[in-house]
Amino acid sequence: MLNKLKQAGLTENESKTYLALIDLGPTTAGKISRKTGLHRRTIYDVTETLIKKGLIGYITQNNKRIFQASNPNRILEILQEKQNTLTPIIQELNQKYSQTQEKSETNFYKGKEGLKTIFEDQLDAKEILILNASPKAYEILDFYFHWYDKKRKKRKINTKIIATDKKIKTIKNIPLSEIKYLPQKYANPVSMNIYKDKTAIILWAKEPIAILIKNKEIANAQKQYFELMWRIAKK
């Protein structure tokens, strides 16, 4: 019981004193001291704090204080008061935390499973822009992309694709997509997927790696760059 009262926010001495009063009923500081093993001076200090918390009361008889425990429901009332005090503080902290989290976030991913995390995150987007799309994507994640494209089609997520390798034409059934091409001399193994407030930079290698940046300013800048390349690229 002592530990449970401590978990409820009482100190060890407060818990001992309150439990002693529950057992003894109305009594003096001396009897509380003998019951708890605490020094009488400590008992006077502890009873003062318990009185302020409303957990005990007292009356004076023959110039002596007779202490009595309040109804244990008072402990629940104290906890509720603490919760009422903390609730607006937690709400304010959550708001600041959310604002901080929304500002910027960068994660690194490695391997096929890491890339799947990025592509599944794109399934909440309204549109996906892909710069320097690589046919290797469908080689590395062949069966996965069949599922992914079906899911994207079902959610009506359009994609614009800029590629340099015209082999991508041989990939069939890329739903809700529009493809344009830049000259082959600009080909490289790094592609960029831009969606929502995120930019994914992907190296399509045997062991693929990716960097996902969540930053609205960066995403907007990359979208502008993509639109410029889109105007230059040819069908």
Q: Topology of 105-232 in CATH?
A: Endonuclease; Chain A (3.30.870)
Half-sphere exposure of 53 (CA within 13 A, CB side): 29
Enumerate the domain spans of the chain: 2-74, 105-232
Residue type, 138: Y
Q: Is residue 105 predicted with pLDDT exceeding 60?
A: yes
Q: Is residue 81 predicted with pLDDT exceeding 90?
A: no
Please write the tens of the pLDDT for every residue from 109-137: 999 999 999 999 999 999 999 999 988 88
Q: Is residue 222 predicted with pLDDT exceeding 90?
A: yes
Residue carrying the six token digits 């009332």: 77
Question: Six-digit token pair at 13?
Answer: 């001495």
pLDDT attached to residue 56: 93
Q: Topology of 2-74 in CATH?
A: Arc Repressor Mutant, subunit A (1.10.10)
Mean pLDDT of 40-67: 92
Please count the other Cβ atoms lying within 10 Å of the Cβ belonging to residue 158: 15
- pTM of structure: 0.57
In the chain, % of residues over pLDDT 70? 94
Mean pLDDT of the chain: 89
The Cα–Cα gap between 167 and 136 comes to 10
172 pLDDT tier (thresholds 50, 70, 90)? low
The Cα–Cα gap between 182 and 131 comes to 10
